[in-house]
Structure 1
Amino acid sequence: MALRLLGAAVVLAAFASAGALQDRLLRAQHTQMLLEAQANPLGAFKEWAQTHSRSYVNDVAEFENRFKVWLENLEYVLAYNARTTSHWLTLNHLADLSTPEYKSKLLGFDNQARVARNKLKTGFRYEDVDAEALPPAIDWRKKNAVAEVKNQGQCGSCWAFATTGSVEGINAIVTGSLVSLSEQELVDCDTEQDKGCSGGLMDYAYAWIIKNKGINTEEDYPYTAMDGQCDVAKMKRRVVTIDSYEDVPENDEVALKKAAAHQPVAVAIEADAKSFQLYGGGVYDDPTCGTSLNHGVLVVGYGKDVTGSGSNYWIVKNSWGAEWGDAGYIRLKMGSTDAEGLCGIAMAPSYPVKTGPNPPTPGPTPGPSPKPGPKPGPKPGPTPPGPVKCDDDNECPNGSTCCCVNEIFNMCFQWGCCPMPKATCCDDHEHCCPADLPVCDTDAGRCLPSAGVFLGSKPWAAKTPAVRRPRSTSLGGMAGRLAQKFMGGGRGFLRRGEPMN
């Protein structure tokens, strides 16, 4: 019976985020399982321990100790769920940990370092964003900017997971490529200010990544859930870079929402409540959740529970595996009456800044350099660059791009000069965009990357008139091309984008 219920719970868990109906079904299923466990606690615990691969099943003393803790948590969950409707608790894979054990093994945000760090102020690039114009909901998981749910194990490295999650997000937004990054590199190598499994601070980790000129991948430098010796060779394989980082103004959920609308944001929360440890689903709004920050997590969006509690909520990615919460996530109520936000979520948010590409993919370690040959003689001076030819009559300065500003039937009658090479000529025939931001947003008057995101955009450039080229005395120029076009000779007018011979 219990195995059948467990299998049904797994199936229902796959639909936990689909809406209020799925929430109610999942909660009802968990309630039935809890009641059966209450009726036969020893049998239920044996099955639970086997399901979660506990090694103490053959250690009588440890088994009895863990059974006692598990039974206390069972009674707590039943009583809590009976008085709470917005969310519910369950006997997840942390249910055999006492509260002191849970705190010491899984919570590792360095709040003392944060207090000292607060003396250093950073900018906030989303300050002028109109809060009323923000989307009503956003989920960066649906935009392929959030990597898989990870598990820190019994190591207080939550700060490293929050850091890599935010860097993975901004890298995916800017480059269009989602790359899972190495928390173990931070645990092993970022040790001057952060403390590995004993705790750390996301801002310190951002600063280390910048100083190291990048961070390696999860695949190349995998996680071990323990402090280790820094692998210098792997540390030097820099796959993803960031330019800087910024702190969201503290105690301001509106500012946090502005940032979260543009990218995943690392935050710190108080997570030592038993209700957080055993969270199973729904919109978490436990009023006893305080502001003593001790756990780093990642805000990956926000939304509203339109058919359930009606609460606005933050979508928060945890680092305790997919067995915890709603497939590794928790919906945390937004809009607390306290400025700090529920569980202190608005007290210490931060995010990395990235605008440029990543370095080339690291190759194998190079061999010894060849011996130098004879020194070459002096090089000839460079040939002065010439103008860019638009057609027989018009040209633009070197380093610019010819763009048509007066076109009829795909024939250009007037040229303009875009003040940058290999530019994109915008469809309004007045502006242009650089090669690295090739998409013209004619509504906003800005240039966007090919991924179509606003982050990293810049205002578009205006064109200047092309100059007339020297003409021969023979029939040529516009008149000559008109004659050729309509008398059947030659190529006719150049069309936009047609190469010159």
Structure 2
Amino acid sequence: MKNIIAATLTTLLIGLGFYQVNLDSASDFERWALKHGKSYYGDEKIYRQTIYYQNKQMIDQHNKRNDITYQMAENQFMTITNEEFIRLYLNTKSTEQLNDQDKVKRNNIHQSSEPINKENKKWPIDWRGLVKVKNQGSCPSSYAMSATSVVEAKYAIDKGISITLSAQQVVDCQWLNDGCDPNDGRNSALMALRYIRLYGLYNEYQYPYSGETQSCQLNDNGPWKIADYWMWTDNYWYNFQRHLEKQPISMKVDASKWQFYGSGIFSDCTSNSNYYALAVGYDSSDNWFVQASFGTTWGESGYIRLAPGNTCGILDYFWQVVLYN
């Protein structure tokens, strides 16, 4: 009903000349819809087409500026507003706080008291391409994507095994429901790693990704396990770099304005973390390499480069895993 009302209003505004839609470029929208497998009809089509052209104009205007460090690009999110992007694709209500009993029991939350000596760091570090870039589709499952990716990376580094693990298993089986609910605070990388430690995972071929919540398809534990996971709350970027020298890191960031990131160095964000990703290195200028889960057509073949320091809250919460010997 909300979209129908909005579409009717949009139609009226177009008729009155408030929206300047270039009819000669209408094929741009149709080509985009065909490329991304989208179909819209009636008022919904008018509404989504209008948003498409508004976003396209905004991207063009941004890229013409001389004071920017990154370029925007068209992608699969062209027919949604930024408010919809946040609501539909980010984990807006998840939390990383363990209860007091679990903090005592696990004793696996660490906070560094001193930064390491900058002179001792090794750079650059680049783990891009080590594990597959995932695509969460219409499910806000970045928590499962990030958690499975950090485990995959650890197997690749420590065991020389290349494997893609089932993020769908985490979505379906971690709590047996609500795996695609962005408002469920239990849908976090921390809880996903806890599930993996307790129950293990199957690979993606055995338990393929559907991008929606299903009933759990398993009756037994998966063969791919971790011995433990470590959560760090650390604001020292030298320490973060030290951890990245050993393995990629699962972490939580603010991705509110990542919707149309195309290339370059991004810093337009806060520390209001709402999205899980994989830190995969840094360059000689200390820009971070981050692997998202929006597919390879988004950003720099699935990656974003963040400016140095605690950009987007990258240093606030992050996790590493330990395998069995």
Place the TM-score, normalised by the shorter chain, in its bin.
Answer: 0.7 to 0.9
Query: Within 2, Cα distance between the matches of 1:64 and 1:183?
Result: 35
1:74 counterpart residue number? 56
2:314 aligned partner, one-letter code: I
Query: Within 2, Cα distance between the matches of 1:60 and 1:248?
Result: 50
* Alpha carbons 1:283, 1:313 under 8 Å: kept: yes
* Distance change in 2, residues 1:262/1:109 (3 Å): farther
Query: Within 2, Cα distance between the matches of 1:219 and 1:109?
Result: 30
2:261 aligned partner, one-letter code: Y
Say whether 1:264 aligns with 2:238: no
2:224 counterpart residue number? 240
2:197 aligned partner, one-letter code: I
Q: CA deviation at 1:122?
A: 2.2
Say whether 1:252 aligns with 2:236: yes
* Distance change in 2, residues 1:346/1:71 (3 Å): same
Say whether 1:344 aligns with 2:313: yes
Q: CA deviation at 1:220?
A: 0.5
1:312 aligned partner, one-letter code: D
Say whether 1:132 aligns with 2:116: no
* Alpha carbons 2:109, 2:231 under 8 Å: kept: yes
Say whether 1:295 aligns with 2:282: no
Query: Within 2, Cα distance between the matches of 1:239 and 1:245?
Result: 17
Query: Within 2, Cα distance between the matches of 1:325 and 1:128?
Result: 31
* Alpha carbons 2:111, 2:232 under 8 Å: kept: no
Query: Within 1, Cα distance between the matches of 2:23 and 2:124?
Result: 42
1:227 counterpart residue number? 213
Q: Considering only CA atoms, is the larger Rg found in Structure 1 or Structure 2?
A: 1
1:494 counterpart residue number? none
Say whether 1:278 aligns with 2:247: no
1:197 counterpart residue number? 180
Give 5+ residue unaligned stretches, structure 2: 1-20
1:347 aligned partner, one-letter code: D
Q: Which of 60, 64, 68 is residue 42 of structure 2 equivalent to? A: 60
After superposition, give the CA deviation of every residue in 1:242-268 in whole Å (9 maximum; x if it has no partner).
111112233222222111111110111
Query: Within 1, Cα distance between the matches of 2:141 and 2:111?
Result: 28
Matches within 5 A, 1:306-321: 311-321=285-295
Percent identical across equivalent pairs? 28
* Alpha carbons 1:243, 1:355 under 8 Å: kept: yes
Matches within 5 A, 1:76-91: 76-83=58-65, 84-91=67-74
Say whether 1:107 aligns with 2:107: no
1:207 counterpart residue number? 194
Q: Which of 95, 98, 101 is residue 78 of structure 2 equivalent to? A: 95
TM-score normalised per structure 2: 0.83
* Distance change in 2, residues 1:117/1:166 (3 Å): farther
Say whether 1:181 aligns with 2:168: no
How many residue pairs match? The answer is: 295
TM-score normalised per structure 1: 0.55
Q: Does 169-178 or 100-109 show the bigger shift? A: 100-109
Say whether 1:170 aligns with 2:150: no
Query: Within 2, Cα distance between the matches of 1:139 and 1:38?
Result: 43
Give 5+ residue unaligned stretches, structure 1: 1-36, 305-310, 336-340, 357-501
Q: CA deviation at 1:198?
A: 1.3
Query: Within 2, Cα distance between the matches of 1:195 and 1:117?
Result: 21
* Distance change in 2, residues 1:175/1:129 (3 Å): farther
* Distance change in 2, residues 1:136/1:221 (3 Å): same
Query: Within 2, Cα distance between the matches of 1:173 and 1:131?
Result: 25
Structure with bigger RCO (C-alpha 8 Å, 6+ apart): 2
Q: CA deviation at 1:110?
A: 4.3
1:330 counterpart residue number? 304
